[in-house]
Amino acid sequence: MAFPSVSIMPFITALFVYPVKSCRAIAMTDVLIERDGLQWDRRWMVVDAQGNAVSQREYPSMARIEPTLGADALHLRVDGAGTALTLPFETPAHAARVPVSVWSHGLQALDEGDDAARWFSDAIGAPVRLVRFADDVTRLASRKWTKDLDAPTRFNDEFPLLVTAEASLADLNGRLGAKGVSPLPMSRFRPNVVLGGTEAFDEDFAGTLSIGAADGDGARANVVLRAVKPCARCQITTLDQSSGLTDPRWPHEPLDTLAAYRANPKVDGGLTFGQNAIVVEGVGRRLRVGDTVELELDFGDE
């Protein structure tokens, strides 16, 4: 007896926010969409003495700093233990404005003070300070990629959202397994939104993602994201996101494997996995794990 084929609509399988840039993620079951990304994502950033952003590229131990969201504050611990650093959600009244930079983009941020600086310096073993994103500052993603839209972002490297797909990770893990490398979790790629129900690398061709999300009264309403730029990956993907360590047997994976089939001329040959995205519609609405996603594919730049 023949059975009819079943078409599976893509859907959200996981949501993540990273309150402090380059520290651990918080897995969310639902999260508010704001004009510059997911609520609480990249609200804080660690900087060096010159105000330049630092990350796991320089200090892999940042992967051990675990955030949790309280009722009115963010709490940080190293490996979930030890003395916590507590950062109230409400901006301190007398926080000093300081110049900072994310790559080549300069902006003003708010310094979190000496206690936070000491805590982070002790945690990663280097003299650093902690800053928070100022609510009255607007940082726009590159119009080279966002085209006709002004897309606010915070302390993200470039764009407010990163979308990946489970099928793409399964494809990569199949190739790693053929080399004897253990499968990698999605945490290596530090996404915000993870999709199920797609073919491998469907996200490469995504134009817009219309997502069924619940508004304040429980009615269904769309959040619309636009995929704008393939995400070129760096050495952070080689770090275990629970320890900050590389596997000594495979210190350059998954980059070595990605190099064989994911060099992308759109980003000057960068090894891409996932798509950077911006918010088009849906500010004030919520994304939930399980929400369906309609992908509008765009092959225009093929």
Q: Which residues of 161-171 are buried (b: 16+ CB within 10 A; e: fewer)?
A: bbbbbbbbbeb
Distance, in Å, from the CA atom of 216 to the CA atom of 33, rounded to the nearest integer, reads 12
Tell me, what's the pLDDT at 298? Answer: 80
Q: How many domains does the chain have?
A: 1
Residue 4 covered by a domain: no
Residue 1 covered by a domain: no
The lowest-confidence range among 79-93, 204-218, 267-281 is 204-218
The lowest-confidence range among 19-33, 86-100, 206-220, 261-275 is 206-220
Tell me, what's the pLDDT at 2? Answer: 41
Indicate whether 54 pLDDT > 80: yes
Tell me, what's the pLDDT at 6? Answer: 38
Confidence of residue 80 (pLDDT cuts 50, 70, 90): confident
Distance, in Å, from the CA atom of 300 to the CA atom of 126, rounded to the nearest integer, reads 46
Indicate whether 3 pLDDT > 60: no
CB-based contacts of 104, cutoff 8 Å, min separation 6: none
Residue 247 covered by a domain: yes
> Which of 47, 195, 202, 254 has the alpha carbon at shortest distance from 130?
47
Tell me, what's the pLDDT at 300? Answer: 62
Query: Under a CB-based contact definition with an 8 Å cutoff, are residues 248 and 240 in contact?
Result: no
Confidence of residue 5 (pLDDT cuts 50, 70, 90): very low
Domain residues for 211? 11-297
R_g of the chain, CA atoms, integer Å: 19
Distance, in Å, from the CA atom of 53 to the CA atom of 46, rounded to the nearest integer, reads 6
Residue 5 covered by a domain: no
Torsion of CA 241, 245, 250, 254, to 10 degrees: 30
Tell me, what's the pLDDT at 81? Answer: 86
Indicate whether 4 pLDDT > 60: no
Please write the tens of the pLDDT for every residue from 109-141: 999 999 999 999 999 999 999 999 999 999 999
Query: Under a CB-based contact definition with an 8 Å cutoff, are residues 24 and 67 in contact?
Result: yes
Tell me, what's the pLDDT at 219? Answer: 62
Confidence of residue 105 (pLDDT cuts 50, 70, 90): very high
Averaged pLDDT of the chain: 94
Tell me, what's the pLDDT at 218? Answer: 62
Residue 45 covered by a domain: yes
Residue 3 covered by a domain: no
Distances, alpha carbon 292 to alpha carbons 9, 37, 57, 197, 198, in Å: 7, 19, 35, 10, 12
Indicate whether 170 pLDDT > 70: yes
Residue 245 covered by a domain: yes
The lowest-confidence range among 56-65, 106-115, 160-169, 213-222 is 213-222
Residue 199 covered by a domain: yes
Q: How many CB atoms lie within 10 A of CB 212?
A: 18
Confidence of residue 239 (pLDDT cuts 50, 70, 90): very high
Tell me, what's the pLDDT at 117? Answer: 98
